[in-house]
Structure 1
């Protein structure tokens, strides 16, 4: 069993209820049978995993990124492994963000740091620990190693229902196609690049010193993730209208999402598009203001009706874009209603498949609703701009 899998990285910030992945690679908790077998065969791996604790000394075993030893060599490259991490993170963060917009409660996986890869790992001989980043390259004794989770976020458990399963399955298929191909298509390369940009857009804007400028910078990364998806390759260009076209190709699950009721035109031209396109327009304009040095203040980030930031809508909006790009649809033929068992199974499967899409659309629709009455919604410690725009964290004046 252990000869079939090898540990590559550890991720100390995300406790998993079960493994996530495919037959090539997986993020696996320490109690996964494959990791457990590796710990029995390599006692130093067991000791390494046992040397992690949070900032207050609470010990835990980190999640392990494991790779099938029979996988083609390309999958051992850090680019492929990072892409795998990116797609898992986006499948979780987009879903968590959508749920949080609908029912704010915190204690969800909302930031990409949950999937951060730890810079220290055992060497391939299971002897010493090696640290490798653009800033460090070194080795040290395992006996002196003390691993830690990030001090910037809580270790929030992730289960099957916390992940957008249809999106995850589709992205895993495209990941394999991109890295197994001798000459990958532009579309597949663009998807992996976009996911990488989206992952970095999902990270915390900054730490305790977060200001609204940091949030504006992160918004800019989200816009780039959208633009990479629609870039045609070669000397072609990606722009706002091409993103509009992609979003408008979405097969909507909720009728209200398809209504062309929102103005995305210019001062001289009225153009009505869907709410999703209008939200992208806000995101796009916010990016331009922050990156081009235009006058900005805290209000630049806020949507007037829900009194939420556009930052909070970026992840579920990106899920909508992926729905159109992939495209992501339930393609199983519907069986005859005369045969109740297959028909019933089809209905259940269809509902499960469409639930994350409906969840993302419902999240975007909150942009048209006024904020909940005071006391009706619990404050969430995971919403970044609540802290990043507090009087202690933001500049006293606007540009």
Structure 2
């Protein structure tokens, strides 16, 4: 099917190189994607608009673009667009966060701010620029425009690592069911709503270190806890609570002995203390801090630091990534038993293992919460 692609907006702070962030309706693409070139051909003065973007020091940029195809039944709603970007962010930034802990260096866009759409866009007639949001409604002339990426986050490339095409496909099925097929089931809605909260939790806490406060940590942690609670919420007939989240975390198929041992102390309040698995202990600590922060109880910056000196905010992404993997159906999963029995080939099993390496990364990340912290110069 030959689809006609048109631009909905530009993302100047990200350089997309993979071609799998999309389907037949929406796509997030970079310069070398054929759909990018199609959009240029279908957008009057779109190329001139894009050529007016440059970095803060004058370097030339070519923004990535969010595109819509003519297969979309009508213009996408803002909710559909926002949710689509959420599933891209989840497919990239969660694993960047995990690897930043295990590799002790940044390996890609660390903040969801990198995926912000630029507020100005060339109009359909190619004559005027238009900006519209809750704070601004304006038009301007193309000739006088100078576009820039975010001043708060660096322009970064999204390559084939650590982005996960299989994870994106799982999330895209849910997105399509909700916004294209209009199958409004609670599970899909809860997952996408949870991702919206995770996107907020993954945002930069402050545009400059001069204004950052540890109270920002409390806000971010509160968003993470909310993401977990939304994910497990049973619907109108029930409610979410800490125990339901812990029940989900306990079903995660951990492989590491350190993740399976119930030897980590968790304070459940009211004098109740129990030994639980590491991920559960971290989540209990997250909820305790969240409650203290939101209820106005005394908190300090040291409360966000674990016994080995690492920050508790280093670990929600790994737990959330594994929780999502546990609740999302994976039609492409290949078990070891299926490979041994001949139902699947060894190559198929190898590809499955390659696609699920994130599990090892997540486990290694969580182990860092209790291991001695290595020197900063290593």
TM-score (norm 2): 0.92
Tell me, what secondary structure is at the counterpart of 1:131? strand
The residue number in structure 2 matching 1:31 is 32
Matches within 5 A, 1:259-278: 259-264=261-266, 265-266=268-269, 268-278=271-281
The residue number in structure 2 matching 1:367 is 369
The residue number in structure 2 matching 1:241 is 243
The Cα of 1:373 is off from its aligned counterpart by 2.0
Tell me, what secondary structure is at the counterpart of 1:367? coil
Closer/same/farther in 2, CA of residues 157 and 287 from structure 1, 3 Å limit: same
The residue number in structure 1 matching 2:60 is 59
The residue number in structure 1 matching 2:345 is 343
The residue number in structure 2 matching 1:12 is 12
Q: Alignment RMSD, CA only?
A: 2.2
The Cα of 1:277 is off from its aligned counterpart by 1.2
> 2: distance between equivalents of 1:144 and 1:218?
38
Deviations 1:10-57 (A, max 9, x none): 111111123322222111112321212332454500001111111111
The residue number in structure 2 matching 1:187 is 187
Matches within 5 A, 1:58-77: 58-73=59-74, 76-77=76-77
Deviations 1:299-357 (A, max 9, x none): 0111111x1211121212211221222255863365565879x6321231121122012
> 2: distance between equivalents of 1:101 and 1:14?
22
Tell me, what secondary structure is at the counterpart of 1:140? strand
Does the aligned pair in 1 maintain the 2:4–2:38 contact within 8 Å? Answer: no
> 2: distance between equivalents of 1:332 and 1:374?
39
The residue number in structure 2 matching 1:389 is none
Deviations 1:266-300 (A, max 9, x none): 45444333211111111111111211111111101
Q: Which runs of 5+ in 2 are unaligned?
A: none
Closer/same/farther in 2, CA of residues 48 and 87 from structure 1, 3 Å limit: same
The residue number in structure 2 matching 1:294 is 297
The Cα of 1:3 is off from its aligned counterpart by 5.9
Does the aligned pair in 2 maintain the 1:27–1:66 contact within 8 Å? Answer: yes
> 2: distance between equivalents of 1:38 and 1:353?
31
The residue number in structure 2 matching 1:212 is 214
> 1: distance between equivalents of 2:226 and 2:330?
21
The residue number in structure 1 matching 2:175 is 175
Closer/same/farther in 2, CA of residues 180 and 329 from structure 1, 3 Å limit: closer
Deviations 1:66-112 (A, max 9, x none): 11111233x71110111000111111111001101101122521110
> 2: distance between equivalents of 1:278 and 1:164?
28
Tell me, what secondary structure is at the counterpart of 1:139? strand
Q: How many residues align?
A: 373
> 1: distance between equivalents of 2:257 and 2:372?
20
The residue number in structure 2 matching 1:318 is 320
